[in-house]
Amino acid sequence: MTIHRIDFSTGVAVGVDGSATSTGYTHPIFGEILKVYVNFQDSPPAGTCDFTLSDEGDPASEAIVTIANSATDAAFCPRRVTELNDGTDITYDETSEVYEPYVVAGRLEATIAQVNAADYADVTVWYRS
């Protein structure tokens, strides 16, 4: 297995201040998301800025990273609860859940919303394939 790093941006937000949005995409990637760093640019309003990172092709639209009402740069090591084939969560001792990285097969989609025109976020993702 190899660890890769990809850098991309949401692109500059367009719209009315306080409700501008933008979405950016990576080229297709295939693997497990290990770490995500979000770096907000310009001056998004901390009280309303929302950020979401997801797999564009995920039919469940499950978010990998969600930031609500914050414009603070941050690093994440996102994980999801491991499940059995019937959707039951796997646990160590019937109380402690088992977590694993998100698996992606396609483009990552980063969206910034409820920001001012010209705001954007730079995103760095480390993944294993």
DSSP 65-112: EEE-S----EEE--EEE-B-TTSPBPBSSSSSB-EEEPEEEE-EEEEE
Per-residue pLDDT for 1 more than 90? Answer: no
Expressed in percent and rounded to 5, the helix, strand and coil fractions of the chain are 0, 55, 45
Taking only the tens place, the pLDDT of each residue in 16-25 is: 999 999 999 9
Give me the chain's average pLDDT, please: 96
Query: Would you list the domain boundaries of the chain?
Result: 3-128
Q: Please report, for residues 3, 61, 106, the alpha-carbon distance to residue 6 in angstroms, rounded to integers and kept in the order given.
A: 10, 21, 13
Name the amino acid, one letter, at 46. Answer: A
Kindly report the CATH number that applies to the domain delimited by 3-128. Answer: 2.60.120.380
Taking only the tens place, the pLDDT of each residue in 93-129 is: 888 999 999 999 999 999 999 999 999 999 999 999 9
- Give residue 70's pLDDT: 96
| CA–CA dist 46, 49 (Å, integer) | 6
Per-residue pLDDT for 71 more than 90? Answer: yes
Question: Which are the contacts of 85, defined by CB distance < 8 A and separation ≥ 6?
Answer: none
- Report how far apart the first and last C-alpha atoms of the chain are (Å, whole number): 5
What mean pLDDT comes out for the span 44-49?
Answer: 94
| CA–CA dist 40, 58 (Å, integer) | 25
